Structure 1
């Protein structure tokens, strides 16, 4: 017997942004069928479109997310960290091979079960690399944002997801954010300071 999780998303009727995020997330989760990508089992629609406000999405059951593991007192051995990173890179390689950028990788978007199996979730900001209008949109939670995004570069590549992976891995190892910037300027300064140290080694 397999167990499922049901996610309730409320207030959809009045929130156009939430509607677009939901549609986008569902499209990519249904399109990217892979072991390290969360799978949608069903979408429970409202009985009448006139009363449409809440949506129930049925996912495969996962126990927690990486953020909760990092913030917990649970010890993490090196093999835990390596296994998390391996699965994240394996899943992301598949996502990128489909010409998709996730654009919002962070510990809360990486789900885990009791066997330490990891699945990438939250594809609400994902876009294909063939789309030409995605470059100006909001992308990536600040702590995991690549320098080119902090500098408002007009174009970027899959490297922005890889930067996020590096930040996440550093956070797994230290149990603290790698670049805990208080704002965009502080974030960029912290990155620059580390880059200068590495350059001088």
Structure 2
């Protein structure tokens, strides 16, 4: 269940109280239906807390992972199953060996280096004339480039780039000028 309407988009908080009502309907129906909640999940710990508090069987993570490839890194999950399980609650991990319950905070340099890699992969896989132009990649810049001194100025420069080589040059100049290690 996505806990916002299409009209609301992400302009309002997800209404997790609806999960309780849906859960009651499922119980009344007598059907064995897994209930997965979605909306405003900031971390795996947050997902677990929401599942326990609202009684859903699982949590789908959307924007929380956008621009944060570190979301699922860290603590080892069940080697056998690739998820942690508490009663019926499951969080599927992207790999069978890695899952974290705490936010992993990468350094500014790490985030920028991953952005370079992301743009390189985009160029190799999607930025061909028959597919998508590089401008599509630019929507990801703010997810990587925010919350630090000079982020706004760097984003402005990145928005002027046309390919991954230009992104790499712009970011490497920023890293050098700001003595990021």
Bucket of the pairwise TM-score, normalised by the shorter protein: 0.3 to 0.5
User: Greater strand percent: which structure?
Assistant: 1
Question: Bigger relative contact order, structure 1 or 2, given CA contacts below 8 A and separation 6+?
Answer: 1
Larger Rg: 2
TM-score by length of 1: 0.32
TM-score by length of 2: 0.34
